[in-house]
Structure 1
Amino acid sequence: MVNAWLGRGINFGNALDALGDGPELALDERHFDELAKAGFDTVRLPVRWSAHAEALPPYSIDPAFFQRVDAGVGAALGRGLQVVVNVHHYHELCTAPDEHLPRFLALWRQIASRYADHSGRLCFELLNEPRGHLTADRWNAVLAEALAVVRDTNPERTVIIGPAEMNSPDALPALAVPDDDHLIATMHYYAPFEFTHQGAGWVPGAERWLGRTWGDTADENAVRDDLAKVAAWGRKQRLPLFIGEFGAFSEADMSSRARWTAFVRAEAERLGMSWAYWEFGTDFGAFDLELAAWREPLRQALLDDRDPTAGIPR
């Protein structure tokens, strides 16, 4: 099953999806080496295609940018890793879906055609965190159109779909799942948001949450309840589940970050979900780029098969 192959993953966020207003990750061959050596199975490559394509028909993607994505895909596949390529940060589509739908479909037509002959270990994710005017009903229709475009050239490639409301777990019941045998459902998990995003500069009021910790019994039960609902939905839909993003911002204390990460990871695996941590080496990073070393509490939280919270102080 492809979902089992995805297994344990990590996002190379703030690289091919960089917005230019925060830290950026330069994709480097050695980063892929670190992932493979550590024991990860999958790389999720968020890609901001919309910033590198023509605004008017035929909406051609910049060849130089395509080559950057090619390099990331090749580096992952060449090390035996699975890779998820998505459309990330297409905010204009969420603001004006009718206007941008032709461009969105044209992007997928180009992406799907370019990678049609690649290994089945490459998966497509149609859109990261649909939101705004891309409501559940509207997104369900757009999703179906985009999937049809992909299927023209990739009839059996695994495609990852997620719900509206920024891939919220609570929005899964409103996701209309197409009749397709090669789908995985995704959602993102950042609960409680006041813990995982404390001090995040892009979140209004996040400085008020500084100092919030995580790890008591009520905290753990909340995660159990949240993920149990997701798992129940997946069973009902007979659809594998992939937590495409979860992580806690660097302003949270490391002990709480490690406990939360370990608990979410272990609970997801217990329920049969694959996952990808957000993210490798910038503001949520499990890897310290300056020291060229893993932040050991987070590495253990993600990859240690023993009691995931053993030795992490409460």
Structure 2
Amino acid sequence: MKNLNGFNKGVNLGGWLSQCSYEKEHLDTFVNENDFKIIASWSADHVRVPFDYNIIENNDGTFIEEGFKYLDKAVENSMKNGLNLILDLHKTAGFSFDYYGESENGFFDSKVYQERFYRLWEEMARRYGKFAPNVAFELLNEVTDAEFIDKWNMIAKECISRIRKIAPDILILVGSYHNNSADTVQFLDAPFDNNVIYNMHCYEPLKFTHQGAYWTNAIDPKERIPFENSVTSTEYFEDLFSTAIAKAEQFNSALYCGEYGCIDVVSPEDTVKWFKTINSVFRKHGIGRAAWNYKAMDFGLSDARLDGVRSQLIELL
């Protein structure tokens, strides 16, 4: 399996240009250059920046120049601080991973929505393709239902083909269904070329990392689970990642985990234990990763609750 140079240890800037209020004050102030400096001081080599289509696209599909300025700033601040950058389309017209908080639907059956998706990425390639290898593209965050995978494989192939006409060398990340779960990477097609890599997310066991979560019916918000009752060894993650690793090895591709982390209900001590366990497997297999999340969003690594253990966590990212 290939190593993913430049994208080994990262942090997400979620909640800035995605899953947010979209008010100008928020977009202007939630993240600033100092945040990039802090992440660089953690010995990270990259940031992952989720953004929603409506930051840069009007309802009719025309582009919003003011919105691109935020992505420009993300690129500028990353490069100024020695960080690489993944631009992650977290929501596209007609699809969002968030069943409960978004009304987007119809993407996988709509040629109109799909064409907007292709045009968006063509525009992204025109603007940011020149920054390869320091900038990478993540086509779409967390495809949900298993029934979408065949269509998604075809859509991803067409999208990459169009990007390649503009940005032939930029790194492109593609994840599978069940919200980028590791055990569904095996159902993705072979990589389009050598600069396309497999992407997964990991919040397993969900009942541990998301205990108390109020936004999903998959969790009893009153249940509390200590680390020792959930994950006790690296074998758990070895088994969980095994088919994804095998798929990457089959095609000599790299494997990347774009999100992983523990909700703020989990104690700081148990958070450290979980990070230590999962990261030992990431490092063993050379899996690049970006922790969720830098600040707020119920997962903030820079939040005050983790002040006593942050130095340990930084070593474990």
TM-score, normalised to structure 1, is: 0.87
The 5 A counterparts of 1:274-293 are 274-282=288-296, 283-288=298-303
Residue of structure 2 in register with 1:301 after alignment: 313
Amino acid at match of 2:9: R
Whether 1:54 and 2:66 are equivalent positions in the alignment is no
Moved more, 205-214 or 79-88: 205-214
**How far apart, CA to CA, are the structure 2 residues paired with 1:259 and 1:114?**
41
Residue of structure 2 in register with 1:38 after alignment: 42
**Equivalent residue of 2:165, what SS?**
helix
The 5 A counterparts of 1:109-124 are 109-124=122-137
Amino acid at match of 2:126: S
Cα offsets for 1:120-160 (capped at 9, x unmatched): 21011111111248711010011011111211110011111
Coordinate RMSD, CA, aligned: 2.5
Residue of structure 2 in register with 1:270 after alignment: 284
Cα offsets for 1:187-225 (capped at 9, x unmatched): 000110011111112112634453211146953232232
Q: How many residues align?
A: 299
Structure 1 segments of 4+ aligned residues over 6 angstroms from their partners:
none
Residue 89 of structure 1: CA displacement?
A: 2.4
**How far apart, CA to CA, are the structure 2 residues paired with 1:53 and 1:133?**
28
Residue of structure 2 in register with 1:213 after alignment: 226
Amino acid at match of 2:312: Q
Find 1:80's aligned residue among 82, 100, 103. Answer: 82
**How far apart, CA to CA, are the structure 1 residues paired with 2:244 and 2:314?**
20
TM-score, normalised to structure 2, is: 0.87
- Conserved? CA contact 2:279–2:316, under 8 Å: no
**Equivalent residue of 1:5, what SS?**
coil
Structure 2 residue runs of 5 or longer lacking an equivalent are 97-104
Residue 263 of structure 1: CA displacement?
A: 1.2
Find 1:182's aligned residue among 173, 192, 195. Answer: 195
- Conserved? CA contact 2:191–2:251, under 8 Å: no
**How far apart, CA to CA, are the structure 1 residues paired with 2:183 and 2:241?**
10
Q: 1:245 to 1:304 in 2, by over 3 A?
A: closer
Whether 1:237 and 2:241 are equivalent positions in the alignment is no
Amino acid at match of 2:12: N
Residue 245 of structure 1: CA displacement?
A: 0.4
Residue of structure 2 in register with 1:311 after alignment: none
Find 1:256's aligned residue among 241, 258, 270. Answer: 270
Residue of structure 2 in register with 1:153 after alignment: 166
- Conserved? CA contact 1:245–1:278, under 8 Å: yes
Residue of structure 1 in register with 2:101 after alignment: none
Residue 93 of structure 1: CA displacement?
A: 3.0
Identity level (%): 24
Whether 1:66 and 2:68 are equivalent positions in the alignment is yes
Amino acid at match of 1:44: R
Residue of structure 1 in register with 2:210 after alignment: 197
Amino acid at match of 1:81: L
Moved more, 216-225 or 254-263: 216-225
Cα offsets for 1:52-95 (capped at 9, x unmatched): 41222xx2221111001110111011111110001102372363
Whether 1:27 and 2:31 are equivalent positions in the alignment is yes
**How far apart, CA to CA, are the structure 2 residues paired with 1:217 and 1:134?**
30
Residue 233 of structure 1: CA displacement?
A: 2.3
Residue 6 of structure 1: CA displacement?
A: 0.7
Q: 1:193 to 1:216 in 2, by over 3 A?
A: closer
Q: 1:300 to 1:248 in 2, by over 3 A?
A: same
Residue of structure 2 in register with 1:12 after alignment: 13
Q: 1:258 to 1:304 in 2, by over 3 A?
A: closer
**How far apart, CA to CA, are the structure 2 residues paired with 1:86 and 1:296?**
31
Residue of structure 1 in register with 2:100 after alignment: none
